[in-house]
Amino acid sequence: MIKDFKEKDVVKGCAENDRRSQELLYKRYFPAMMQMCMRYTTDRDNAMQIVNNGFLRVFKKIDQFKFEGSLEGWIRRIVFHSISDFFKSEKKYLQFMVFEEKEKSTSQTALDNIYYEDLLKMIENLPDATGKVFTLYAVEGFKHREIAELLNISVGTSKWHLSEARKEMKKLIAKYQDKINYARQ
């Protein structure tokens, strides 16, 4: 039973590939991980796939957990990487890249109310160079080195533009959320 969950014993059992321990760990943390994934996708099947891929990684890496911090936080980071991988592979990377830190927030954010097309329109409001770097990185999936070569800029400049784009996008999204909240009143 989950009531009998003793973290050290379950982690040790998982490291030894004990199926009962894996089941206990999964059942204990599944609801929280599923809820986190559902903040990024409204498709329950995709969320389930992400969670299960995340738990596979957890079971493969469980021997690396050293009880320095919470087990749930450690699992959350691994599942978050699965979310990232899913969006990269699905070319839905833009929405994810703007809000990498969304999972740290427990409140509902503007992302829940924004469509992909709205985000693309917001990118058009970015300064030219910043918008190009952001589009190449977040939408098209280029790496900073590739962007630097394409735009004839340094890798550091590419990273700076991405950072600036994220800051500006967060401001634009906050304005968008304010409009939605005002319209609801």
- For residue 90, what pLDDT is reported? 62
Percent over 90 (pLDDT), the chain: 36
For the domain with range 110-184, which CATH number is right: 1.10.10.10, 1.20.58.220, 3.40.50.1000, 1.10.3720.10? 1.10.10.10
Model confidence, pTM: 0.52
Residue by residue, what is the 3-state secondary structure of the chain? CHHHCCHHHHHHHHHCCCHHHHHHHHHHHHHHHHHHHHCCCCCHHHHHHHHHHHHHHHHHHHHHCCCCCCHHHHHHHHHHHHHHHHHHHCCCHHHHHHCCCHHHCCCCCHHHHCCHHHHHHHHCCCCHHHHHHHHHHHHCCCCHHHHHHHHCCCHHHHHHHHHHHHHHHHHHHHHHHHHHHHHHC
Ranges 44-58, 71-85, 92-106, 147-161: which has the least confidence: 92-106
pLDDT at 175 over 90: no
Identity of the highest mean pLDDT range in 18-27, 61-70, 103-112, 174-183:
18-27
Residues of the chain with CATH 1.10.10.10: 110-184
pLDDT at 164 over 50: yes
**Can you tell me the distance from the alpha carbon of 7 to that of 4, in angstroms, rounded to the nearest whole number?**
9
Residues of the chain with CATH 1.10.1740.10: 2-90
Query: What is the topology classification, in CATH, of domain 2-90?
Result: Rna Polymerase Sigma Factor; Chain: A (1.10.1740)
